[in-house]
Structure formats: structure tokens, C-alpha cells
């Protein structure tokens, strides 16, 4: 008699969304809400440890990516550190590889092509010298390309976003860059991931990594986050970004300081350099339009207090 095949998920015993297709986990909880309550604190603690320099080291290759996933999720899933195209055992039963995979309408690379996809995704960093002495923008151009491809490959059954962010942040530390994903909201990451999956030539992921890495842009975004909290808003619930040179931005002014102005636009909150706007800013709710020229370099030169 053939052995029974296992599953990544518990059987659905109660027909509602909270109980449907819950991943088998080491906590033994069987609802999505309970799993989030247990999983996110456990993985967040591991993310913090990685930011402090703990966790796996490696050559920023496939094995290193697996090690990062294992470090983040080993307290949550038996199969932590395994790609979804592998045969793994969950609760004593063999689970077959996951081929087709989608989430929120996005379709990812088929499991049968993961090795090829990872080889392509990690190709820009095979040469360890490519990022030595890189500027924040230069780092973002390489790391953004890697991150966009890894999102499309989606090599793990769960935990791809957190693993990729930790992997890219570790890559930044290796070459002297602090990549602050804490300044990138979930709505922005989702929107950028969708855009780059649909259009591989999009610069959106590179711009996202630049915002998270460039000290001047980090400082500008932090000022907006602080202002949104002062207004009683959760900044991580909004798509917040800096304007790119040459971009035309239109919207209502939300706030400003001596260096920057942030506007509410049709796509979210966009930050521009104060010098790019008229000297007299409107005091009412009128829209204002400007062409961005600032590269935010002044903020990285130490003129703005932290």
C-alpha cells in the first residue's frame, strides 16, 4: 500500500477563511489569526538579531538564502530552510513539491524552474567585487534587481518577503550600507512587487531600495513618519516615498520642514526637496505641482539633525 501523502496545511474542519488552508506549524495552532500572533513575534526577534549582526553568514548564494529562511522560521515550520520545489516531511509525512503558486492575484515562477530562476536572480552578486565601494544608489541598482527577481521566483512555501528583506539587509551590511526596511511600508512593498513582476524593466524596486539605503532619503522619510505619527496616523499603512529627479509631483501639502516637503498624491505620500517648491507654499488645500530636482544629498551630509 502506498504511503499517505502529507500536506503543508491542516485539513479545513470549520468552513471559514480563518481556518482554511492554515500552514502546519510547530505551535499547533489552526487559525490564521492565531498563527500570526505566534509567528510574527518569533520571526521579528530573529530579524532583530540579524540586524545586530547575528545569524547566518555565507556567500549570498542559494545556500545562504536557505540559511536565512531557516534562521527566521525554524521555530515556526518544520520545513524552514527548504525551497518549495523540494520534497519535505511535515508531521512525519512526505509533502510533494509546490509547482504553481500565486498570491493576491500575482503568479510566481513555477516550482520546476526555481533553480534556473535563482541562478538568474543572484547572478548580479556572483562577483563579490561588484558592490565594493558602491554608493547607496549603486548598491540599490544591484540589490533592487536581485530583490525584484527573488520576489518573482518566490522560492519558499511561505516567508519569502521577510527572508528576502533580511538577505538584502545582510548584503548591505557586507558592503557598508544600512538598509532600513523599517521605512518601507507594506502597501508600498506590495505595490512595487506587483509592478516589477508585471514589468521587469520597472525602476520601482531600485527606487525602493535607494529610499531604504541612502542616508539622505532615510532622513527625509523618517521626518514624514514622525509627522504622520504626530497626526495620529500609522506611517506603515501608507505608501510613502521620496521623489526621483525629473519626476513631476502633484498633490496637497501634508507637512514640511527646513529641508523637505511631503505631499498627499493620488498614489500616496511623496517627499520632495524644499528648494524645488515655491518659496511661498499654499496654506489651504489647493494642489501644487513641482518638478523634483533634489537628490537629498544635503541631508546625508550631516546638516539635518537626526
Q: Kind of pairing, strands 268-273 and 106-107?
A: unpaired
The answer to whether 150 touches 121, Cβ cutoff 8 Å, is yes
Looking at residues 217-239, what average pLDDT do you find?
96
Q: What is the pLDDT of residues 116-175, one digit of tens each?
A: 999 999 999 999 899 999 999 999 999 999 999 999 999 999 999 999 999 999 999 999
User: Do 203 and 226 share a domain, yes or no?
Assistant: no
Is 239 within the bounds of a domain?
A: yes
Q: Kind of pairing, strands 288-291 and 248-256?
A: antiparallel
Torsion of CA 207, 211, 216, 221, to 10 degrees: 130
What gap in Å lies between CA 40 and CA 161, rounded to an integer?
13
Looking at residues 15-29, what average pLDDT do you find?
96
pLDDT at 50: 95
What gap in Å lies between CA 198 and CA 192, rounded to an integer?
10
If we measure between CA atoms, which residue out of 180, 105, 109 comes closest to residue 139? Answer: 180
**Structural domain harbouring 288:** 216-296
User: Do 142 and 75 share a domain, yes or no?
Assistant: yes
User: Do 196 and 238 share a domain, yes or no?
Assistant: no
pTM for the model: 0.93
Number of compact structural domains in the chain: 2
pLDDT at 298: 57
Span between the terminal Cα atoms of the chain, in Å: 67
User: Do 208 and 284 share a domain, yes or no?
Assistant: no
pLDDT at 269 over 90: yes
The answer to whether 224 touches 269, Cβ cutoff 8 Å, is yes
Q: What is the pLDDT of residues 66-115, one digit of tens each?
A: 999 999 999 999 999 999 999 999 999 999 999 999 988 889 999 999 99
What gap in Å lies between CA 113 and CA 159, rounded to an integer?
19
Instruction: Supply 278's cell numbers.
Output: 515655491
pLDDT at 300 over 50: no
pLDDT at 2: 41
Is 4 within the bounds of a domain?
A: no
Is 189 within the bounds of a domain?
A: yes
What gap in Å lies between CA 201 and CA 243, rounded to an integer?
19
Q: What is the pLDDT of residues 137-149, one digit of tens each?
A: 999 999 999 999 9
pLDDT at 13: 87
Q: pLDDT class for 302, splitting at 50, 70, 90?
A: very low
CATH number at residue 149: 1.10.3290.10
User: Do 73 and 60 share a domain, yes or no?
Assistant: yes
What gap in Å lies between CA 250 and CA 288, rounded to an integer?
6
User: Do 187 and 255 share a domain, yes or no?
Assistant: no
Instruction: Look over the chain and give the mean of its residue pLDDT values, rounded to a whole number.
Output: 93
Instruction: Supply 118's cell numbers.
Output: 535563482
CA separation, residue 161 to residues 150, 214, 227, 234, 282 (Å): 9, 21, 27, 21, 40
CATH number at residue 285: 2.40.50.140
Q: Is the dihedral of CA 296, 301, 305, 306 positive or negative?
A: positive
Amino acid at each position: 500500500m502506498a504511503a499517505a501523502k502529507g500536506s503543508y496545511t491542516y485539513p479545513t474542519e470549520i468552513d471559514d477563511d480563518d481556518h482554511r488552508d492554515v500552514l502546519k506549524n510547530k505551535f499547533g495552532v489552526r487559525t490564521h489569526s492565531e498563527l500570526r500572533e505566534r509567528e510574527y513575534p518569533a520571526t521579528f526577534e530573529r530579524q532583530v538579531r540579524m540586524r545586530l549582526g547575528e545569524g547566518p553568514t555565507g556567500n549570498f548564494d542559494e545556500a545562504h538564502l536557505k540559511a536565512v529562511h531557516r534562521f527566521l522560521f525554524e521555530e515556526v515550520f518544520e520545513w524552514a530552510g527548504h525551497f518549495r520545489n523540494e520534497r519535505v516531511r511535515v508531521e512525519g509525512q512526505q509533502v510533494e513539491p509546490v509547482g504553481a503558486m500565486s498570491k493576491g492575484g500575482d503568479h510566481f515562477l513555477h516550482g520546476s524552474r526555481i533553480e534556473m530562476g535563482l541562478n538568474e536572480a543572484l547572478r548580479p552578486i556572483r562577483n563579490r567585487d561588484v558592490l565594493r565601494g558602491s554608493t547607496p544608489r549603486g548598491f540599490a541598482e544591484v540589490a533592487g534587481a536581485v530583490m525584484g527577481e527573488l520576489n518573482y521566483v518566490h522560492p519558499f512555501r511561505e516567508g519569502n518577503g521577510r527572508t528576502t528583506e533580511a538577505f538584502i539587509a545582510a548584503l548591505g551590511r557586507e558592503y557598508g550600507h544600512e538598509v532600513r526596511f523599517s521605512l518601507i511600508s507594506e502597501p508600498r512593498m506590495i505595490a512595487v512587487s506587483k509592478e516589477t513582476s508585471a514589468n521587469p524593466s520597472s525602476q520601482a524596486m531600485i527606487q525602493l531600495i535607494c529610499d531604504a539605503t541612502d542616508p539622505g532619503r532615510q532622513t527625509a522619510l523618517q521626518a514624514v513618519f514622525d509627522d504622520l505619527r504626530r497626526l495620529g496616523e500609522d506611517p506603515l499603512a501608507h505608501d510613502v516615498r521620496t521623489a526621483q529627479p525629473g519626476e513631476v509631483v502633484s498633490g496637497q501639502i501634508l507637512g514640511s520642514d527646513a529641508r523637505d516637503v511631503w505631499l498627499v498624491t493620488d498614489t500616496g505620500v511623496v517627499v520632495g526637496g524644499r528648494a524645488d517648491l515655491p518659496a511661498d507654499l499654499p496654506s489651504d488645500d489647493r494642489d501644487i505641482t513641482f518638478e523634483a530636482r533634489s537628490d537629498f544629498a544635503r541631508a546625508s551630509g550631516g546638516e539635518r539633525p537626526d
